[in-house]
Amino acid sequence: MTEIANIFILDGERIAFDPGQTILTAALAAGVYIPHLCAHPDFAPHGSCKLCTVTVNGRNGSACTLRALPGQEVRSNAPELNEIRRVLLQMLFVEGNHFCPGCEKSGSCKLQALAYDVEMLSPHFVQFFPHRNVDASHPEFFLDFNRCIMCELCVRASRDVDGKNVFALAGRGRDAHIIANAPSGKLGDTDFAVTDKAAQVCPVGAILRKEIGFVTPIGERLYDRAPISEVDLAVEVK
């Protein structure tokens, strides 16, 4: 049973938490949405995307990694924090090649849905338009490097759940990128399978199942029906 002392304040609302919970998991369990992208309920906190940045007792930090503590004063839905989120999303959009109107993941993409949620109206920065390939070597999946945002969910899922290490990060800085762990670098030369957890966790359109593209029409996809703040609360809170 949660003790009365285990309470923090989030945007003026009292949030009860269990010892060991993070600010993000406690908020979601209480039905309060904090925008996030790389955080996933099945994996340990990672803190790479910074979309869940909150202010705790006057200092900024990632809600997915900060432990909830009694008496914390937490701000999330604040103009300056939403502006930080907009800038982070704008950088993610220009760094890759995200052609939302023609992408199979449009309407079910967390990156796109978060951009709508924080009212990102333009990319703002100069578009990189990097040259990135599409790996179609696997019989059941495309690996589209243009869409990858390096959240590392596929890396963690393959390593921690599937026990395969199909994916990894290579390079540093602007040269950082996801690779398929095979001598050829091709996904088709790995033991990646449709039953793998790593096949299910990509929040964007980087890992796409073949032969089912556009089966669900526009208007009926995950975030077409409701904003991400409502959908993710229903999906992620267990």
Range of lowest pLDDT (38-47, 88-97, 183-192): 38-47
Q: 3: which residues sit within 8 A by CB, 6+ positions away?
A: none
Integer angstrom CA distances of residue 203 from 1, 3, 55, 57, 178: 34, 35, 25, 31, 14
CATH class of 7-77: alpha beta
178 pLDDT higher than 50: yes
pTM score of the predicted model? 0.92
CATH entry 3.30.70.20 includes domain 97-227? yes
pLDDT band (50, 70, 90) for residue 3:
very low
Whether 127 and 98 have beta carbons less than 8 Å apart is answered as no
Question: What percent of the chain clears pLDDT 90, i.e. is strictly above it?
Answer: 83
**What is the spatial distance between Cα 45 and Cα 24, in angstroms, rounded to a whole number?**
10
Burial 149-167 (b: 16+ CB within 10 A, else e): bbbbbbbbbbbeebebebb
Q: Where are the domains of the chain?
A: 7-77, 97-227
Whether 10 and 32 have beta carbons less than 8 Å apart is answered as yes
Considering the chain, what is the average pLDDT of its residues? 93
